């Protein structure tokens, strides 16, 4: 059943043109305006730098392994004893145990470095995810459809907060 537009104060062609304009703005123009506005804020570089800084803060400090050679043990008390150790050889009293601990620490550090490199390589997808979530909001249609005369607060004042909130959302945290 066709819709009767004879009672409207405007003609049916104006209504159809308005609906087409709303569709084009909502599904075509708004995502493009959102993407360009987010790019203008330099979100991608800021996001990646922030995530990589967070990742590097997660790194555990290296474990300090005491030295067990003669010069380190006796030379710390008296420099003359350390010189004697140097003159007559510098035996390592805990060599086997120290080597095992050092090998374990190297393996642990290598595993940690691989894990952090993997997390750092995924920062781009998390940042893109946050930008995509914010771009999907319908407020962008109002912003772009009004030729940027009407600027919703989520676009003007809270864009960075919206991006950070989207970055921490479950949809984006699962990416990393």
* φ, ψ for residue 11, nearest 5 deg: -75, 165
In total, how many domains does the chain have?
Answer: 1
Q: How confident is the model at residue 103 (pLDDT cuts 50, 70, 90)?
A: confident
> What confidence tens digit (pLDDT) does each residue in 8-36 have?
787 778 888 888 888 888 888 888 888 98
Residue 8 belongs to a domain: no
Residue with the two structure tokens 């919206």: 162
Whole-number Å distance between alpha carbons of 142 and 26: 8
Rounded to two decimals, the pTM is: 0.59
Q: What is the pLDDT of residues 115-142, one digit of tens each?
A: 878 877 777 788 888 888 888 887 888 8
- Is 1 contained in some domain? no
For the cut 70, the answer to whether the pLDDT of residue 113 exceeds it is yes
Cα separations in angstroms, 124 against 80, 119, 121, 134, 176: 57, 10, 7, 16, 9
Nearest C-alpha neighbor of 175 from the set 114, 135, 133, 138: 133
Is there a domain that residue 15 lies in? no
Give pLDDT, residue 29: 87
Domain that holds residue 100: 25-56+66-173
11: in domain = no
Residue 3 lies in a domain: no
89 within domain boundaries: yes
């Amino acid at each position: 059943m066709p819709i009767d537009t004879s009672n409207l104060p405007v003609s049916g062609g104006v209504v159809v043109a308005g609906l087409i304009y709303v569709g084009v703005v909502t599904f075509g123009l708004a995502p493009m305006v959102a993407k360009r506005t987010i790019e203008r804020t330099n979100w991608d570089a800021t996001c990646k730098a922030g995530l990589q800084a967070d990742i590097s803060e997660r790194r555990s400090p290296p474990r300090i392994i005491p030295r067990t050679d003669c010069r380190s043990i006796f030379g710390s008390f008296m420099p003359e004893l350390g010189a004697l150790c140097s003159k007559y050889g510098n035996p390592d009293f805990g060599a086997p145990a120290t080597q095992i601990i050092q090998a374990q620490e190297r393996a642990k550090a290598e595993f940690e470095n691989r894990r952090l490199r993997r997390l750092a390589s995924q920062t781009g997808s998390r940042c893109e995810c946050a930008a995509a979530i914010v771009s999907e909001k319908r407020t962008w249609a109002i912003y772009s459809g009004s030729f940027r005369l009407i600027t919703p607060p989520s676009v003007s004042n809270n864009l960075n907060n919206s991006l950070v909130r989207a970055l921490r959302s479950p949809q984006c945290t699962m990416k990393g």
